[in-house]
Structure 1
Amino acid sequence: MKSKNIIITGTSRGIGFELVHLFANQGHNVLALSRNAQPVNNLHFDNITSFSFDLSKKEDYQNVQKFITDEWEHVDVLINNAGTLLNKPFSETSFEDFKNVYTTNVFGVSELTRIVLPFMKNDGHVVNISSMGGVQGSLKFPGLAAYSSSKGAVITLTELLAEEYKESGPSFNVLALGAVQTEMLEEAFPGYKAPTSAIDMATYIANFALTGQNYYNGKLLQVSNSTP
């Protein structure tokens, strides 16, 4: 397979970190974006670029834009993987809590996609990572009002972008993940053991990101073998 230019957010740990490693081993060029760039920098791959990126900072988006313009000129795949998980009773969830969750999980996805789109061709693929908690009719859990509602917004955003760009491309799809054994899950639900490892889920996402646009556009795929 011809090497592709791939951008991934939320790469300091968990699924995002495993995705960077998988794509780099396959020979693809990876731009890894996370507030903590050091874990990826420690991989020492020539085809990985990693720098600190905060979804709430306007200048960080400008840095991404400049990198693409100067180094790549085009992007084949964008994986909006970064997310924040808040487990707190609704009565205790403040305006700032909701704002922080939506800034990362919704506004960040929207803005980075907007910045990257001019560099993507009609056969490009934008993959947004959502959650089963954001799927209408799925089992819901107390304490996840901010998180799950934000992930529902990502699903609808994906469908809208696929419609808006259906003539010109790229393709847009969203994966609603079930529970995956990551540091973020452990922090929100201490002691819970998920049935799927980060590397197993990353392997699925990597394959889908490279080929899924050949079969899907504007689609929500539920990737879960458990409840949640």
Structure 2
Amino acid sequence: MPLHADAETPVTLDRREGPYGEIVLRQRGEHHEIIANGCFLMDTSDGRSERLLVDAASETLTANGKHPSALLIGGLGVGFSLAHAAADPRWRRITVVEREQAVIDWHRTGPLARISGEALGDPRCVILHTDLLTHLRESADHYDALCLDIDNGPDWTVTDDNENLYSPDGLAACQARLTPGGVLAVWSAQPSPAFEDALRNAGFTGVRTEEIRLARGVPDVVHLAVSPA
């Protein structure tokens, strides 16, 4: 969720109070950005890390001899991950879990439709308005990859309750939704050795962290782990 917007004064387009606090859509120059409870999440100026999150998962699947088919994206954000996944015909089913109705509205009828509009019309793609951990615990669906981008990383969550996703119970819920050999990919603004240890302790294999080089600033990273076959 890196910040790459220019220094122009932002204009607030929508501000809502939801069950998890305040969520704001702002425009800064030609770009849009999402702010949650005063914390910058992401903007539309550079979707490289969101696209590479999906690529890292599909490449790991392919390297392990597994065909990418069913994908869950945790967090709709500004839509780069969804649009990128929908452009790949190998993904036959794409589910996006987003807990903020405001974010969904900004994509369906607002300015973020310019990024996700085509994907939203794709019959392979479904958006679920629910909490990610609730879906992981209650759904019977299985996925070849979980691409999670709901926080600034395991050590920098947007809300305190999001910490549960990275706990042993949360990682067990992730593993339960993955097919054998499936991939968990988690975006982060910085490496987290403690999270790597948590993934191994949860029974994941092939745990590693890949850097995402950006035009400026420190690299983002993707934490990758494979569900036992």
Give the TM-score normalised by the residue count of structure 2.
0.47
Between Structure 1 and Structure 2, the one with more helix by share is 1
Higher RCO (CA-CA < 8 Å; seq separation 6+): 1
Between Structure 1 and Structure 2, the one with more strand by share is 2
